[in-house]
Each structure stands twice: as structure tokens, then as C-alpha cells.
């Protein structure tokens, strides 16, 4: 009895693994995330080239992981403030994550060159706070090369990043613009095998 | 007469104080970034060793290597080159990873140090110095391992 249950579990696990391995999965290791804050006092910008992501072309699942300490500011003092406990607390929360789904996957033809508008819905976790997001993006297919472009507006207060007074409250916008460019490639063999 | 002299001294002292405060404020605001290459390394270890440390206990490893203000530890990592690529900022990116390792250390070079990567080849063993940004982990949503991220990297000449 015990043995047959074990066999069954093994079979189920194995079949799931087998399915996920036959899925077409796009992997992105070449990315650019830019955050931009505009106020009357000043404009602040920071760039990050270290995010990784995946798009499953069969299910529309989209995942991006952003290492928060990789945001580079022009001024070192701003970078220190951004990382500190009062702001993003990057030691406690080193990564942000988007876990979502392309809701109009049928509109995208990954096999034919073209530019496709997509809607992405899912959960965005920043600073340990998870919020539902719904964003528009563009997927451009050119041969084996797929590029995702999007621009999102994030309200800092949604992620428990709030400034009541002092310089930050006047010099940092309440809503930050995030520009994303991600180059994805179809990985032709099992994802789990490729990165192990 | 004595009162006037005292007032003068006080005013001068206040003036100097205000100027110093402005000077410090200006310096703080425009303070340059830490020069990773000019700063001595905090730890020297292999790519395999730091990956294992992170996979075994990410909380302890984060506490050891990451800094609350983003000025995280400067590491000297030795490992085998698995891939060499270029990012959207035209920076060279070298992955140091053992043949059967689950994850490696991905090192991003800078405008100044990019050229040193040109002579490197896959399979070669090198040592790289840089600042750690995040650790290695398995992400079940990505369904893959994420590498240890090292930035502002430069090549270390072992013969020196």
C-alpha cells in the first residue's frame, strides 16, 4: 500500500515535471529597469541592469525578479537613502517580484514577427508588500528574439514607502515611473536542466 | 569697547559655523560613490563557496554580506568562466560557475574595466573583485536558480 502511494506520487510529480519541460519558455537575462521621479524640486533617476524574468508562451505566465541593490543613482547619498530602512530597506527585502499572467495571450503570435499589445495582471511585491497590478505592455517578436517593453506608474504609498515630512516628501514624487526593457530568448531545452 | 569685541568674535564664530555646515551639506550631497576597486576586499572565496552559503542559509548570508545602505561587502571571487555577455549598458557580464553547480556568481564589469574581459575565454579560471548586490536562490516562480550578483567588477591579477 505504502509503495503504491509512493509510486503514484512519483508518477504525478514526474508527469508535472515532464509537462513543464515541454512548455515553450522564454528567459530574459538582458534587462533594463529605470525608475524616474519628477517633482518641481528635482528629477531623480536610477538604473538597474540585473533583473531576470521568464514568459511561458503556453500559459502566459510572466515572472520578473528585480535585485533592489542593483539600482544605481547618480548621487551616492540618494542611493544610500533609497537602500536604507526608511525607504526600500533592501537588506531586509533584497528582491522585488512580479508574478503575473498575460490575459490576452491569444493575441500574441510568438512564431511570427510583429509587435503585439498585451495586458498583464498579477501580483507585484516590493518592500515586502504585495499589491494587485494590471498593466499594458508591448511584446515585439523578431525571429528568435523577443523584446518586452512597458512603462508602469507605481504609487509609493501602496508599498508602505511613505514620507511624511522633510526633504523626501517634497523632492520625491508620490508616483514613480518604471520603464522596463527585457530581451527574451526561447530556451530550446528544459528550463530546469539548462540552469542546473 | 570690550562688549563690541566680544560681539565681533561671536559673529565671526557663527559665520564660520554656518559656512562649515553649508560646506558639509554640499559635500554630503555631492559625495562620490564608493570606489570599489580602491577599497580592500572584505572576503575572498570561490564561486561555489558563496553559492553554497546562500543556498544553505540565505538569512545568515544576507546578514553577513548585505549592507543596510546598499554599500554591501566587497568580494574577491574565484571561479570558472561559463559565459561572457554584454548588458544593455554595454557592460561586460561574466558568469563564474562550477560545471555541476546549481548557480554561480554573475559579475558585471564597468566602462573602465570592460576591456580586461576581451582577452578572457570560457572555461578559464579567474578571480574577480566587486560589490555583492544579492545572493543565490532557487525561485519557484521563475523555475530556475538565480545567481549571486556582483557589480562594479574588475579582474584580479593573481600573480601580483
For A39-76, how does the pLDDT look when each residue is reduced to its tens digit (9 = 90+)?
Answer: 998 999 999 999 999 999 999 999 999 999 999 999 99
Reported as a pLDDT band with limits 50, 70 and 90, residue A1 is: low
List the grid coordinates of B64. 553577513
pTM of the model: 0.85
pLDDT value at residue B160: 45
Dihedral angle sign, alpha carbons of residues A148, A152, A156, A157: negative
Reported as a pLDDT band with limits 50, 70 and 90, residue A12 is: low
Minimum mean pLDDT range among A12-26, A103-117, A119-133, B44-58: A12-26
- Looking at per-residue confidence, does B5 or A163 come out higher? B5
Chain B residue whose CA is closest to A91: B68
Closest Cα partner for A81 from B71, B32, B69?
B69
Based on its alpha-carbon atoms, the radius of gyration of chain B, rounded to whole angstroms, reads 23
| DSSP label of A68 | G
**Distance from the B76 Cα atom to the nearest Cα atom in chain A, whole angstroms:** 18
pLDDT value at residue A143: 86
Helix or strand or coil: residue A25? Answer: strand
**B66–A69: do the CB atoms touch at under 8 Å?**
yes
pLDDT value at residue A186: 77
Would you tell me how many other CB atoms lie within 10 Å of the CB of residue B107?
A: 31
**A77–B29: do the CB atoms touch at under 8 Å?**
yes
**Mean pLDDT along residues B123-138:** 97
Contact, A178 vs A42, CB < 8 A?
Answer: no
**Mean pLDDT along residues A130-138:** 97
Amino acid at each position: 500500500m505504502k509503495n503504491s502511494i509512493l509510486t503514484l506520487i512519483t508518477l504525478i510529480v514526474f508527469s508535472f515535471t515532464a509537462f513543464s519541460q515541454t512548455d515553450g519558455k522564454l528567459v530574459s537575462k538582458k534587462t533594463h529597469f529605470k525608475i524616474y521621479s519628477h517633482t518641481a524640486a528635482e528629477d531623480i533617476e536610477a538604473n538597474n541592469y540585473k533583473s531576470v524574468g521568464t514568459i511561458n508562451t503556453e500559459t502566459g505566465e510572466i515572472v520578473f525578479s528585480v535585485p533592489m541593490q542593483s539600482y544605481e543613482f547618480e548621487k551616492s547619498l540618494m542611493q544610500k537613502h533609497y537602500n536604507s530602512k526608511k525607504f526600500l530597506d533592501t537588506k531586509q527585502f533584497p528582491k522585488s517580484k512580479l508574478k503575473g499572467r498575460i490575459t490576452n495571450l491569444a493575441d500574441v503570435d510568438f512564431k511570427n514577427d510583429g509587435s503585439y499589445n498585451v495586458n498583464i495582471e498579477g501580483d507585484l511585491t516590493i518592500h515586502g508588500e504585495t499589491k494587485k497590478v494590471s498593466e499594458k505592455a508591448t511584446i515585439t517578436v523578431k525571429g528568435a528574439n523577443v523584446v518586452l517593453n512597458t512603462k508602469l506608474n507605481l504609487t509609493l504609498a501602496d508599498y508602505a514607502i511613505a514620507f511624511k515630512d522633510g526633504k523626501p516628501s517634497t523632492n520625491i514624487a508620490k508616483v514613480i515611473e518604471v520603464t522596463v526593457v527585457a530581451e527574451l530568448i526561447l530556451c530550446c531545452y528544459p528550463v530546469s536542466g539548462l540552469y542546473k | 569697547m570690550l562688549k563690541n569685541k566680544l560681539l565681533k568674535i561671536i559673529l565671526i564664530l557663527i559665520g564660520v559655523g554656518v559656512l562649515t555646515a553649508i560646506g558639509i551639506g554640499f559635500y554630503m550631497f555631492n559625495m562620490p560613490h564608493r570606489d570599489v576597486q580602491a577599497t580592500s576586499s572584505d572576503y575572498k572565496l570561490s564561486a561555489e563557496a558563496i553559492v553554497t552559503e546562500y543556498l544553505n542559509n540565505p538569512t545568515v548570508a544576507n546578514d553577513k554580506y548585505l549592507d543596510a545602505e546598499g554599500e554591501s561587502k566587497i568580494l574577491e571571487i574565484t571561479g570558472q568562466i561559463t559565459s561572457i555577455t554584454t548588458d544593455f549598458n554595454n557592460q561586460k557580464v561574466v558568469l563564474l560557475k562550477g560545471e555541476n553547480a546549481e548557480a554561480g556568481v554573475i559579475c558585471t564589469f564597468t566602462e573602465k574595466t570592460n576591456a580586461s574581459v576581451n582577452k578572457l575565454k570560457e572555461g578559464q579560471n579567474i578571480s574577480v573583485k566587486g560589490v555583492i548586490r544579492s545572493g543565490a536562490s532557487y525561485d519557484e516562480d521563475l523555475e530556475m536558480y538565480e545567481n549571486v550578483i556582483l557589480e562594479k567588477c574588475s579582474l584580479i591579477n593573481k600573480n601580483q
